[in-house]
Amino acid sequence: MKKIFLENSPSSDCLDCSSHLSLSKKMALQLCLSLLILFAVINSAIASDRLYEVTIYNLTHGSQFEGEDCREGQILGLFVYATHNSRVKLFELGETVSPELALESESGFPYALADSLAANPNVGATVTVPNIENIPEQLLDGVICAGGKLTTTISARRGHKFISLAGMIAPTNDGFVALNRVRLPKGRRTSVYFSPAYDSGSELNDEKCENIPGLPGIRGCLPGDLNTDPNFPFPDPNPEGGPGAGEGYVHLHSGIHGIGDLEPSVWDWNNPVAKITIRRIRR
């Protein structure tokens, strides 16, 4: 019987097979790498913060004086903005105001409220206008005169579908405008909201300029008041006008009645006092 011995060296067919297997492995590896890169790009796009443009319009009436940039009438500012989830609200109507919002409404100082919001784990982004580093040089950048507007941008993390903001109405004792946990717009839509004048209930509405802060170069009360410390423009709440010393709860402001230093024909208003538009400018 003839014996057949298998040689140790591979046949040409086996070499072709190995070559095909090697090529297939390379193609599979390249495909996996391409998919990983694609998934990374997609995840990065999904995880990136959305950017929104927020514009506040001052709807109060005011008279223009020659040579002056700001109309005589109620001004709005300075402002704090925050994007967050549904667990955050700046205030509850009929409830006692927070010390930080009381400070904002009495003095226009937004930075304590901004710090409080930034420390809240349910808040993603906070913005103040102007930035505290730009005080006092850019103080008036955060002020909206009657008939004027202010535009800024703020980001929002994925899952943070709400925005809140607040700014003082001046000259008043403790009036403010606000958005209080409203929804951010979806897609490329623009959301429009209107704010009445709120009263924080933290200071008596005596309408006296000694208790109302003014701003340099703007008509109304003079800069400095009993709520202001020596390091103006970083005011502190008046110990006699802190939370509970006024009405004791947040409510709709009743306006200016002429019981102090402010003439209603100039400084009173009808609601709403502000229009706020919000649109997404980056997905």
Where do the domains of the chain lie?
Answer: 14-47, 52-282
Averaged confidence pLDDT in the chain? 82
**Whole-angstrom distance, CA of residue 102 vs CA of residue 96:** 10
Query: 232 pLDDT exceeds 50?
Result: no
Burial class (CB in 10 A: 0-12, 13-18, 19+), 55: middle
Task: State residue 182's pLDDT score.
Answer: 98
**Whole-angstrom distance, CA of residue 21 vs CA of residue 4:** 29
Task: State residue 239's pLDDT score.
Answer: 45
CATH of segment(s) 52-282: 2.60.40.2130
Task: State residue 223's pLDDT score.
Answer: 76
Name the pLDDT band for 211 (thresholds 50, 70, 90): confident
Contact 278, 51 (CB under 8 A): no
Query: 175 pLDDT exceeds 90?
Result: yes
Least confident range of 3-12, 15-24, 50-59, 133-142: 3-12
**Whole-angstrom distance, CA of residue 227 vs CA of residue 184:** 35
Task: State residue 33's pLDDT score.
Answer: 67
Task: State residue 227's pLDDT score.
Answer: 52
Task: State residue 220's pLDDT score.
Answer: 85
**Whole-angstrom distance, CA of residue 25 vs CA of residue 30:** 9
**Residue 124 amino acid letter:** G
The tokens of 169 are what? 């109405």
The winner for highest mean pLDDT among 10-24, 171-185, 205-219 is 171-185
Task: State residue 70's pLDDT score.
Answer: 81
Identify which has the larger pLDDT, 162 or 247.
162
Query: 6 pLDDT exceeds 50?
Result: no
Three-class DSSP category at 158: coil
pTM surpassing 0.85? no
Task: State residue 126's pLDDT score.
Answer: 98
| Secondary structure tally for the chain: helices H, strands E | 4, 10
Query: 140 pLDDT exceeds 90?
Result: no
Least confident range of 131-140, 214-223, 225-234, 257-266: 225-234
Query: 224 pLDDT exceeds 80?
Result: no
